[in-house]
Amino acid sequence: MSKLVLRNLSRRFGSFTAVDAIDLTLQEGEFVSLLGPSGCGKTTTLRMIAGFIPPTGGTIESDGVALSSPDAVTPPERRGMSMIFQSYAIWPNMTVAENVGFGLKLRKLPSEEVHRRTGEILEIVQMGHLAGRYPAELSGGQQQRVALARAIVVKPSVLLLDEPLSNLDANLREEMRFEIRRLHDEFRITTVYVTHDQAEAMVTSDRIAVMNAGKIEQVDAPFALYNRPRTRFVAGFIGRTNFLEARVHGGQLDLGGFALPAGVLNGHTPAAGQSVLLSVRPQSIALAREPGGDALSVPARIVEGAYLGEHWDYLVAPEGAGETKLRVTTLPSQRHQPGEQVWLRFDPDQMVPIA
């Protein structure tokens, strides 16, 4: 039986549809992120799962039991779920240990068990040595660990996280992504994670649901989502990509001023005259100073380049392609000057036809 099921779930606010008939199923112990830009409906979806707002259409079920429908909503406190907010929402007048143990006390567990479980979870999140401190004495990352410990210690049926790392600096966000994944691997709590940060979703998730304008455009594992996007929105939102309009003419794939053999698209050869939109990642295009000796090499000119430490980011103009410019990334050692003649080499396995 599936752990959490959203069926045809919708939420309207007046004439505005925030969530538009989405379907999503989570298995026991699965970590799924809702990823998308601001206003796409991901937080509204999370709040419906938590029971804070009712749906205007569709249902939410957990372990086969209906939790939400337009006619009836099980209140949040009866759902067996824990939620972590952007602001952490830890009590400033309680110590770390008191914050973490509060939910256990509410459940009227014996004080010995509260003390034991609080101590165990604080050691797991590496906060045991700070059990007696107050939130004002903690860094942002430490406060986030307290919030995680408090949510996990009660052993929730489902863990909900609403952009929990948005208040942290870049280095701390990177650290906490791996910490959240480590905790999930240890406890295997079914988790729904809301974020607009693709790196967070890629690091933490078993699957990612990409949302746009209230709809789910694609649900997939991070590797599949990045390498085989199904829509233009997903291809552009997950990482960077080049979009190329292509049409088959005379056995050639016309890419708007330059061409490749029509058979380069493995498993997808458009019919003559048919148009197809291709997503080509910047790192999948190789740069060389000499032609490769086959039809996959295209002459081009370097327009500009930026050194970003871990790689070079080039803007390249294929010869004869008019205004078409391509983004290409290379190793730090591969340096080119603006105006330099180069050759582009395309990898057919990385040229993805999308809807």
State the Cα–Cα distance between residues 182 and 230, nearest whole angstrom: 30
| CA pair distance 13, 22, nearest whole angstrom | 16
Distances (CA, A) of 229 to 184, 224, 233, 328: 26, 7, 9, 19
Closest CA to 150 of 139, 136, 161: 161
The whole-angstrom separation of Cα 273 and Cα 156 is 56
Residue ranges matching CATH 3.40.50.300 in the chain: 4-237
> Is residue 154 within 8 Å of residue 135, measured between CB atoms?
no
Residues of the chain with CATH 2.40.50.140: 242-354
pLDDT in tens, 143-195: 989 998 999 999 999 999 999 888 888 888 888 899 999 999 999 999 999 99
Low-confidence spans in the chain with pLDDT less than 70 = 266-273, 293-295, 355
Q: How far apart are CA 162 and CA 160, in angstroms?
A: 7
What is the model's pTM? 0.90
Please give the CATH superfamily to which domain 4-237 belongs: P-loop containing nucleotide triphosphate hydrolases (3.40.50.300)
Per-residue pLDDT at 85: 85
pLDDT of residue 87: 77
Give counts: helices (H), strands (E), the chain.
8, 20
Residue 350 to residue 129: CA distance in whole angstroms: 49
How far, in Å, CA of 98 to CA of 101, rounded? Answer: 5
Residue 250 to residue 240: CA distance in whole angstroms: 31
Alpha-carbon span 269 to 352, nearest angstrom: 11
Residue with tokens 């050869």: 269
Q: What is the domain class of 242-354 according to CATH?
A: mainly beta
Q: Which amino acid is at 157?
A: S
